[in-house]
Structure 1
Amino acid sequence: MGGLAGVVASAPAVNVGAEAPDFALRSAAGPNLRLSEHRGQVVMINFWATWCGPCRQEMPQLEEIFARYEPAGFTLLGVNIDEDSARALRLAEELGVSFPLLFDDTQDVSRLYDVQAMPMTVMVDRSGTVRSVHYGYRPGMERLYLEEVRALLRED
């Protein structure tokens, strides 16, 4: 079994063009949320942490994209990796975040997605295929996110 675990751990978890690994995480709204429940929607998965300055910087832009495109079939799953979900909730409230917040306090999903930088953003199309992966955040990246969201929403 140890050999298999090593093989799984060394394999890239998130590849553009591959199916996005499914997961279920506790949500701030209460019940667990599963990625596969959003099949048919364009999904942005954003891994973030309260200690991450760029994460805090991009959250208002992500909120704006979510608010604008949710009615068109887009959702954004904010996956927080902090051990203390209360800190994440306070920050999200402070920043006025309304998109679904999920808590990966054991970091199992972060390992599944091979998160190596904060923030990390994964774009998933309506069929569940990973279309892009972005590491980090720089001002202006929200324009790239907007282009990707619009293009994926136009696809059947």
Structure 2
Amino acid sequence: MTQIKQKRLVIRSLILLVLLGAVGYTLYSNLTKASQGEIHVGQTAPDFVLKDMNGKTHQLSHYRGKGVFLNFWGTWCDPCKREMPYMNDLYEEYHKKGVEILAVHVKDTRYLVENFIKQYGLQFPVMIDKDGDVQNEYGIDPLPESLLIGPDGRVKKIIIGNQNLKEKDFRSLFDSIKP
């Protein structure tokens, strides 16, 4: 009987430690998330520099005077997979009208991103935020998340999560940030 009680005590102690660890991690996550950036409509979009898949450097502030559709996405994200073709189909037309699409992939391997680009035939710049610095600065969570940035560099609209956007929705969004 004493051995059985000791085993129960050990098992209960382990369960208690795991639960305390989970609570501690949750508290830590919530406290550090508060220190991430949080972007609001009307605010100037924070500047960043990332390289696209072709090695070209993109700095957000270099796009002043143009509208920017800044899209944070992931290869595993189903809404992203549905939205990308619409964005790609409209890219050339709106690029000529002064609207840039910048897609920032969040923390995935170059190989997976390259395969995604090939699969969907993406024409617009795709960058990888491998360390998550830009994602943290913008406070991005969940994916997808897009920011419409006007020619003045200010955030005009933020679209969070799965909105089931269609081509007509993207047209309206792109028109709203045309210079």
**What TM-score results when the alignment is normalised by the length of structure 1?**
0.87
Aligned to 1:63: 88
Identical amino acids, percent of aligned pairs: 28
One-letter identity of the residue aligned with 1:127? D
Cα deviation code 1:53-84 (max 9, x no counterpart): 11111100111221221101011001001331
Change (3 A) 1:138 1:101: same
One-letter identity of the residue aligned with 2:164? P
Aligned to 1:119: 144
Task: Specify which structure has the higher proportion of helix.
Answer: 2
Between 1:85-94 and 1:96-105, the stretch displaced more is 85-94
Aligned to 2:130: 105
Supply the RMSD in Å over aligned alpha carbons: 2.0
Show structure 2 runs of 5+ residues with no match: 1-30
Aligned to 1:85: 110
SS in 1 for 2:177: helix
Show structure 1 runs of 5+ residues with no match: 1-5
Q: How many residues get paired?
A: 149
1:145 aligns with 2:170: yes
Structure ID, larger Rg? 2
1:37 aligns with 2:57: no
1:136 aligns with 2:161: yes
Off by >4 Å, runs of 4+ in structure 1: 6-9
Q: Judge conservation of contact 2:86–2:170 (CA < 8 Å) in 1.
A: no
> Matched residues in 2 for 1:37 and 1:31: separation?
13
